[in-house]
Amino acid sequence: MKAGEIAEFVGGTVSGNGEVEIVSFADLKTAKQGDITFLERPENFSGTNASCVIVPNGFDTAQFPAAITVKQPKLAFALIAQKLRVRETFSGIHETAVIAADSDVRASYIGASVSVAGDTQIGESTEVHDGTRIGRNVTIGTGTVIHPNCVIYDNVTIGNDCVIHAGTIIGADGFGYVRDAEGVYHQFPQVGTVVIEDNVEIGANSCIDRGALGETRIGKGTKIDNLVQVGHNVNIGKHCVIAAQTGISGSVVIEDGCVIGGQVGFGDHVTVQSGAVIGSQAGILPGKIVRPGVWWGTPIQPLDEYKRQNAHIKSLERMKAELKEIKRKLD
Amino acid sequence: MKAGEIAEFVGGTVSGNGEVEIVSFADLKTAKQGDITFLERPENFSGTNASCVIVPNGFDTAQFPAAITVKQPKLAFALIAQKLRVRETFSGIHETAVIAADSDVRASYIGASVSVAGDTQIGESTEVHDGTRIGRNVTIGTGTVIHPNCVIYDNVTIGNDCVIHAGTIIGADGFGYVRDAEGVYHQFPQVGTVVIEDNVEIGANSCIDRGALGETRIGKGTKIDNLVQVGHNVNIGKHCVIAAQTGISGSVVIEDGCVIGGQVGFGDHVTVQSGAVIGSQAGILPGKIVRPGVWWGTPIQPLDEYKRQNAHIKSLERMKAELKEIKRKLD
Amino acid sequence: MKAGEIAEFVGGTVSGNGEVEIVSFADLKTAKQGDITFLERPENFSGTNASCVIVPNGFDTAQFPAAITVKQPKLAFALIAQKLRVRETFSGIHETAVIAADSDVRASYIGASVSVAGDTQIGESTEVHDGTRIGRNVTIGTGTVIHPNCVIYDNVTIGNDCVIHAGTIIGADGFGYVRDAEGVYHQFPQVGTVVIEDNVEIGANSCIDRGALGETRIGKGTKIDNLVQVGHNVNIGKHCVIAAQTGISGSVVIEDGCVIGGQVGFGDHVTVQSGAVIGSQAGILPGKIVRPGVWWGTPIQPLDEYKRQNAHIKSLERMKAELKEIKRKLD
């Protein structure tokens, strides 16, 4: 693509030579001729060999062979990188795959040792990579990629254009037990389902449990990192991001557009309202309603309060000394 | 089953029409004719279409076609649900399974691409699902279900009627190294075993490491959630529950009947005495003995103390103001 | 081996009968005739049936049939145990393995259902166990063991003499997204690589993400426990140890010889300087530079400060009482 075409594609303004041919992308330091790159922190800029640089509004572009001015350079770079790098696609059904006769598999690719049980539907252009196991009565949409060694239990639904990374388990039993008078635990029925909506991406080795009696749902466009635990009957809205190793207990509701850090712990029946941002390692008590805003700590509190409280704790040494001095004066 | 038969099965008292035929179960809201359901929080009850409702002692049953009165409705519901829903069983040995000639496999089901190494015994009515790898000299009892893509290392013992969810790894090396004078780490021998007793259930993508020189043991009836780490030489008693993402360091002892929340961290050589309850995200210093009672925080303390301490911290702002006022007066 | 030969091997001094034949190793309690053991805490010693005991300098050896005196008994024991126990090696390429014709596989063992994609090189004496998936253009050195059901994505490099435990995923996409004006997340390109240097050991079900545009690197001799998350573009130095369930965000640098506890959380762009020790469950804010020393808490602080602060918090109740008393006196 020419720099001018890229500018048009990302909705930016080209300057310099719009005819420059761009073949790939890289970061500022490693970019070479033919590459496009972007400037995230203009104040730290110290040169690049890229043929074209995406810069924020107001940055001087005279020094570059070609430049594209946009409001969000990183976003524009992500969009053009997706376009420049055509992801390798896979096709064919491997001879070692085990596919039930009564399934409806239209996928473009079923890898080695994959198994697909009965009554399952897999849509067109979907790829199921080596060693992934797909249970009975599963529905998977079109254009979805499931990486190797995942396990999709029975009755799960996965939408279109999703990406599930390796080793992720969807639809295992939720963790629900009832204790009897002898202290023995009996499983509460875990017979519900999981619904993953379109454009969801889930990292590696994460776990999304099935609903106990109802469903666990991950909303459209939500992105989940590695090693995340999503308990039974959790309902996550659209366009949320959830970082690595966060654990979400049963029946939690996370509304649209929330941002959840890593290693956060949710008690059960928490509701996080749309637009809330929760800092890493925060802990949320069962039943809590988290309003929009930025939150941190265990138990979580608004970020400002948390910071003020930390400052108070830091001043405890001085407070103690003052108390001592006052007592001396009074005596 | 008829409502009257169910009442007898769960040890409750039927009221209304004991002849009502029950075919399935559901929660209060989604239950329909032919379903049984249960009432957990009578104060929130607002109607159901179920044919039979399990209610706690003292609840008015006149409004239901049939009702069963018991002490613990949720427990009764769990027990009858297990009975009403006959879990799908699997049988046969898949042609793609690789089973060593000198193993003794009586399992009812060995799935696709499973491998079983030599000197291994698998009992009757046990199911080993697709892609699970079972090492050498492993013993697995009867009636156990191992879900897909698990790995059971050499010399591990698993009892009867256990459930191991997908992706769980049992018997990997413990994390023990000794540093030499040059700062290079050498592995301490990790040649022990893992013993999983009967009726243990383990969630998805958890890890139970082998003992270094002795054994790691999970006691009868203990339930472990997803993404839990159990280190080398840990000894967990009977009828414990351990929630998701908790990490248990080497040589920890957890006695019978303990309840451990999610994301709890145990230092090594901790002992948790029978009946202790540890709140989520708590952190326990190495060597600590945790007595019966409810504990929380890092480092853990009795819940009451932890709450009082949190309240004190919350009052720091006011304390500071009081100190200032006192100093003003003294001046 | 004879006790005298072992003494020579570990650089210690033999006493008693140096001709005693040692065939195996065990801990103090379970050791029997023919075993070697070691004494870690001399103050707790209460007898052993071992034929030879490795003891620290200054310990009385007259009571043992044979003894070896060294500076670090545990280290000497680890070294001799590695020598006494020849690990079972595997050989052959299983007939169910799927190996691309244009790969260069010299490995001593490729297990059942393993898949190896094109342009991949696997060195001599390396073992790839059942169900592990190796992508395109991967390079794996010699003498490395990859346990079952791992996934190595495309373009990853793994060195010599590494051990990767079961279920670990190397090279999945990093977690990087850019939000557009409508709140929709677009993936930032995740097209970099992972480089694992020689002698690295990684536990079970861990995740090492690929670099976004550059590389993620794990330095020589570093040991990583189970369920650890290593984000994109992280650079971990040589001879570090990282305990279970720790999460390392993107672009973190951990220099040589650091010790990181379990369940630690790193914000992105943190730098941990060589020789730092970070306690379990600590949390480190993005961009923080952690100097050498021992650190704990969230946000982390030097261990001494953290302990002093905790002591201050414990004294809050008394401080409150003192304040009250002072106010009474002033009134």
Contact yes or no for A79 and C133 at CB 8 A:
no
In a domain, A116, yes or no: yes
In a domain, A325, yes or no: no
CA distances from C326 to A256, A326, B15, B280, B313 (A): 52, 8, 66, 39, 20
Handedness of CA C100, C166, B162, C246 (dihedral sign): negative
Of C98, C207, C316, nearest to A96 by CB-CB distance is C98
Of B75, B81, B166, nearest to A172 by CB-CB distance is B166
Contact yes or no for C312 and A313 at CB 8 A:
yes
Do A155 and A294 have their domain in common? Answer: yes
Contact yes or no for C313 and A317 at CB 8 A:
no
**Residue A179: closest C-alpha in chain B:** B75
Q: d(Cα B52, Cα B84) in Å, to the nearest integer? A: 14
A310 contacts chain B (CB < 8 A): no
Residues in CB range of C31: below 8 A, 6 or more apart: C25, C37, C48, C49, C50
User: Shortest Cα distance from C199 to chain A (angstroms)?
Assistant: 24
CA trace torsion B214, B216, B220, B225 (10° rounding): 180
**Residue B214: closest C-alpha in chain C:** C27
In a domain, A197, yes or no: yes
Q: d(Cα A255, Cα C247) in Å, to the nearest integer? A: 25
Q: Helix or strand or coil: residue C44?
A: helix
Q: Which of A84, A103, A118 is the last residue of a domain?
A: A84
Contact yes or no for A98 and B130 at CB 8 A:
yes
Q: How many CB atoms lie within 10 A of CB C93?
A: 16
| Tokens, residue C150 | 């791992």
Please report residues of C whose CB lies closer than 8 A to that of B153.
147, 166
Contact yes or no for C226 and B175 at CB 8 A:
yes
Residues in CB range of B75: below 8 A, 6 or more apart: A178, A179, A180, A186
Q: d(Cα B59, Cα B42) in Å, to the nearest integer? A: 8
**Residue B318: closest C-alpha in chain C:** C320
In a domain, A182, yes or no: yes
Do C158 and C48 have their domain in common? Answer: no
A311 contacts chain B (CB < 8 A): no
Which single residue is written with the structure tokens 């099935």?
A: A210
Of C29 and A158, more confident:
A158
Q: d(Cα C121, Cα C113) in Å, to the nearest integer? A: 18
Do A59 and A96 have their domain in common? Answer: no
Residues in CB range of A292: below 8 A, 6 or more apart: A273, A274, A275, A276
Contact yes or no for C265 and A243 at CB 8 A:
no
Average pLDDT over every residue of C74-99: 94
Among C2, C221, A247, residue whose Cα is nearest residue B184: C221
What's the confidence (pLDDT) of residue C42? 80
User: Shortest Cα distance from C296 to chain B (angstroms)?
Assistant: 11
Give the model confidence (pLDDT) of B74-84 as tens digits: 999 999 999 99
Do B104 and B219 have their domain in common? Answer: yes
A244 contacts chain C (CB < 8 A): yes
Q: Which of residues 32-61 of A touch B (CB under 8 A)?
A: none
For residue C213, count CB atoms less than 10 angstroms from its CB and return exposed for 0-12, middle for 13-18, buried for 19 or more.
Answer: buried
A45 with A64: CB under 8 angstroms? no
Catalytic residue flag (residue C186): no
Chains in touch with A (≥3 Cβ pairs < 8 A): B, C
Residues in CB range of A113: below 8 A, 6 or more apart: A94, A96, A97, A98, A130, A131, B96, B112, B113, B131, C96, C98, C113, C115, C131
Among A165, A162, A106, A110, residue whose Cα is nearest residue A134: A110
Do A246 and A290 have their domain in common? Answer: yes
Of A205, A249, A322, nearest to B323 by CB-CB distance is A322
What's the confidence (pLDDT) of residue B92? 96
Of C153, C178, C312, nearest to A316 by CB-CB distance is C312
- Checking if the pLDDT of C240 tops 90, the result is yes
What's the confidence (pLDDT) of residue B87? 82
Do C121 and C223 have their domain in common? Answer: yes
Using the CB atoms, write b or e for A288-305: b if 16+ within 10 Å: bebeeeebbbbebbebee
Please give the span between the terminal C-alpha atoms of chain A, in angstroms, as a whole number. 83
Do B123 and B175 have their domain in common? Answer: yes
B274 contacts chain A (CB < 8 A): no
Strands C109-110 and C127-128: parallel
Contact yes or no for A316 and C309 at CB 8 A:
yes
Q: Which of B54, B84, B114 is the last residue of a domain?
A: B84
What's the confidence (pLDDT) of residue C161? 98
Do B133 and B37 have their domain in common? Answer: no
In a domain, A312, yes or no: no
Do A34 and A50 have their domain in common? Answer: yes
Please report residues of B whose CB lies closer than 8 A to that of A267.
280
A261 contacts chain B (CB < 8 A): no
CA trace torsion C3, C4, C7, C9 (10° rounding): -100
What's the confidence (pLDDT) of residue A329? 82
A121 contacts chain C (CB < 8 A): no
User: Shortest Cα distance from C222 to chain A (angstroms)?
Assistant: 21
Of C26, C79, C113, nearest to B186 by CB-CB distance is C79
C264 with C270: CB under 8 angstroms? no
Contact yes or no for A263 and B262 at CB 8 A:
no
Q: d(Cα C38, Cα C71) in Å, to the nearest integer? A: 12
Q: d(Cα C133, Cα C137) in Å, to the nearest integer? A: 13
Please report residues of B whose CB lies closer than 8 A to that of A207.
167, 203-205, 226-227, 244
Low-confidence stretches of chain B (pLDDT beneath 50): none
Do C67 and C211 have their domain in common? Answer: no
Q: Which of C30, C65, C84 is the last residue of a domain?
A: C84
Tally the domains of chain B: 3
For every one of its 331 residues, what pLDDT tens digit does chain A have, with 9 covering 90 and above? 999 999 999 999 999 999 999 999 999 999 999 999 999 888 878 889 999 999 999 999 999 999 999 999 999 999 999 999 888 889 999 999 999 999 999 999 999 999 999 999 999 999 999 999 999 999 999 999 999 999 999 999 999 999 999 999 999 999 999 999 999 999 999 999 999 999 999 999 999 999 999 999 999 999 999 999 999 999 999 999 999 999 999 999 999 999 999 999 999 999 999 999 999 999 999 999 999 999 999 999 999 999 999 999 999 999 999 998 888 888 7
Do B181 and B278 have their domain in common? Answer: yes
CA distances from B185 to B175, B189, C75, C248 (A): 11, 12, 9, 21
ipTM value > 0.90: yes
**Residue B97: closest C-alpha in chain C:** C112
Please report residues of B whose CB lies closer than 8 A to that of A177.
78, 223, 241
Please report residues of C whose CB lies closer than 8 A to that of A85.
189, 191
Among B232, B236, B263, B228, residue whose Cα is nearest residue B250: B232
Q: Which domain holds residue A16?
A: 3-84
Handedness of CA B23, B28, B31, B33 (dihedral sign): positive
**Residue A256: closest C-alpha in chain C:** C183
Beta bridge pairs of residue A15 = A67
In a domain, A315, yes or no: no
Residues in CB range of A326: below 8 A, 6 or more apart: B323, B326, B327, B330, C326
Q: d(Cα B267, Cα B287) in Å, to the nearest integer? A: 7
A279 contacts chain C (CB < 8 A): no
For residue C47, count CB atoms less than 10 angstroms from its CB and return exposed for 0-12, middle for 13-18, buried for 19 or more.
Answer: exposed
B286 with C287: CB under 8 angstroms? no
Contact yes or no for B243 and A175 at CB 8 A:
yes
Give the model confidence (pLDDT) of C170-195 as tens digits: 999 999 999 999 999 999 999 999 99
| Residue A14 belongs to domain with CATH number | 3.40.1390.10
Please report residues of B whose CB lies closer than 8 A to that of C326.
326
Q: d(Cα B316, Cα B323) in Å, to the nearest integer? A: 10
Q: Looking at residue B245, what DSSP letter applies? A: T
A231 contacts chain B (CB < 8 A): yes
Please report residues of B whose CB lies closer than 8 A to that of A263.
263
B245 contacts chain C (CB < 8 A): yes
- State the count of interchain CB pairs (< 8 A) between A and B: 173
Peptide bond into A302 cis (omega under 30): no
Rg of chain A over all Cα atoms, to the nearest angstrom:
26
Mutate which of A103, A129, A151 to test chain B, going by most B C-beta atoms within 10 A? A151
In a domain, A69, yes or no: yes
**Residue B238: closest C-alpha in chain A:** A184
| Lowest-confidence segment of B31-45, C102-116, C214-228 by average pLDDT | B31-45
Residues in CB range of A91: below 8 A, 6 or more apart: A108, A109
CA distances from B2 to A188, B20, B30, C262 (A): 21, 5, 20, 53
B253 contacts chain A (CB < 8 A): no
Q: Which of residues 180-199 of A touch B (CB under 8 A)?
A: 180, 183-189, 191
| Residue A162 belongs to domain with CATH number | 2.160.10.10
B323 contacts chain C (CB < 8 A): yes
Of A129, A147, A203, nearest to C175 by CB-CB distance is A203
In a domain, A316, yes or no: no
**Residue A111: closest C-alpha in chain C:** C115
Q: d(Cα A175, Cα A212) in Å, to the nearest integer? A: 9
Amino acid at C12: G
Strands A265-266 and A283-284: parallel
Strands C133-134 and C151-152: parallel
B85 contacts chain A (CB < 8 A): yes
Maximum Cα–Cα distance across chain B:
92
A24 contacts chain C (CB < 8 A): no
Q: Which helix (H) or strand (E) holds C3?
A: helix C3-10
What's the confidence (pLDDT) of residue C237? 98
Do C38 and C178 have their domain in common? Answer: no
